[in-house]
Amino acid sequence: MPTTPTAEDKSAATAQERREAVTLVDHRTGKSYDLPVSNGTIRAIDLREVKTGPEDFGLMSYDPAFMNTASCRSQITFIDGDRGILRYRGYPIEQLAERSSYLEVAYLLLHGELPTKSEYDEWVHNITFHTMIHESLKKFMDGFNHDAHPMGMLIATVGAMSTFYPGARDIHSASDRTKQIHRLIAKMPTLAAFAYRHSMGMPYVYPDNDFSYTGNFLNMLFRIPSSSWKPDPVLVRALDVLFILHADHEQNCGTHVMRGIGSSHTDPYSAVAGAAAALYGPLHGGANEEVLKMLQEIGTVSRIPAFIEEVKNGKGEKRLMGFGHRVYKNFDPRATIIKRIADEVFAVTGRNPLLDVAIELERIALQDDYFIKRRLYPNVDFYSGLIYEAIGIPTAAFTVLFAIPRVSGWLAQWQEMLEDPEQKIARPRQIYTGPKERSFVPIESR
């Protein structure tokens, strides 16, 4: 039976509440505020209560580049950057890389649970039977210059896809969303392969439903029509594992863009185009392309010390590409797995001579005070490019191989955002530092 709380109960409750709060003292006014703490965070909106007077807008937090701001609650991916932990929906990345497949992981990211056998079969069927692209989209791709960057082509074409599926704008319908999710995951490899074939001046190879997801992709990339070429199963599996490793990475730059664009309720094709554009940058997914260029520039092991000195003396202008991460400050678990896959791939393709440069570069950098002090370690992009090159993928297409699997993560994050009642259109605040009000001066008087 409920009893009326005594004064003692109330003060115990208050003490408990205070333990889950921080006290902020505003020395401008002498007032203090208890801000509730939940999941190790305070709500930035609570700061608004901190005012110097009724006309004051209230306190804001200033956090350029979101160094210390959580923008959402998410159940998808967990990262502990200090301990080098990455889990999708609770499953360690090492176990998924060892025992799962990319399409199973994509299902897991989007649905929250691993599929049963029948759910998996249906999922694979739905993806496999959406791999064809509209012939007009193919013509659209024909319009690109022969030397167009594959990422530029991918971004533009995936954006153009929204015009082919007007139903995609109905983002509040779960069944419509599912249709677009199937299409996007299914068609990204086709767009990527067609972009590559276009740049090579080679005829497109249509999807073949007899192959797996990555097998089909390699087939569309490399099969010479009329030949009986088949993708090597070791390379198919290696690519599948790489796709698992790249599938999601919580609130990184591209995912943040996906959620940001999606928050205005635009269609998922347009949002994916934006997220892919963010990924294109050399500080993000574009780093894998830059790593290979860097290794080629260094060329031989003997030139590594001079290169490292250039980086250290470059005052941040020149970076060791594939090193450093905003979150991982110990090691990137994906890089560890990728190093192992590299050995398996090179056993089939022959050893890439730049691997020696990469290994020695890593060894020297990990012993150097500059990198130790800044906690800079190899990230996912450091070794992935060497594998892509060994498989025969041109350097300019590396980031495309990142974008294909990341689509499942982007879509999972997009869905989660749409279903989160706390989310609204993303709209940060600013600190205005421009001129105060001034009067317009006609041009002849300036």
Q: Which residues bind ligand ACO (CB under 6 A)?
A: 283-285, 287, 311, 316, 319-326, 374, 376, 379-381
CB of 312 to ligand ACO, least distance (A): 8
Residues paired with 87 in a beta bridge: 78, 92
CB of 325 to ligand ACO, least distance (A): 5
Check if the beta carbon of residue 188 is closer than 8 Å to that of residue 404: yes
Q: Residue 326: how many CB atoms within 10 A of its CB?
A: 14
Q: How far apart are CA 273 and CA 294, in angstroms?
A: 27
Q: What amino acid is encoded at 373 in this protein? A: K
Residues found in the chain: 446
Q: How far apart are CA 220 and CA 364, in angstroms?
A: 39
Smaller CB distance to ligand ACO: residue 215 or 385? 385
Smaller CB distance to ligand ACO: residue 319 or 351? 319
Q: How far apart are CA 376 and CA 309, in angstroms?
A: 15
Phi, psi of 58 (to 5 degrees): 110, 160
Residue position matching structure tokens 């090597």: 232
Smaller CB distance to ligand ACO: residue 194 or 402? 402
* Catalytic member of 248, 267, 332, 381: 381
* Catalytic member of 232, 325, 332, 369: 325
Smaller CB distance to ligand ACO: residue 268 or 322? 322
Q: Which residue is nearest to ligand ACO (CB)?
A: 324
CB of 110 to ligand ACO, least distance (A): 21
CB of 395 to ligand ACO, least distance (A): 15
CB of 377 to ligand ACO, least distance (A): 10
Collect all residues with Cβ–Cβ distance below 8 Å to 235 and sequence separation of at least 6: 218, 345, 348, 349, 391
Q: How far apart are CA 371 and CA 358, in angstroms?
A: 16
Residue 325 is a catalytic residue: yes
Residue 381 is a catalytic residue: yes
Closest CA to 45 of 55, 57, 53, 54: 57
Smaller CB distance to ligand ACO: residue 91 or 370? 370
Question: Which are the catalytic amino acids?
Answer: 284, 325, 381
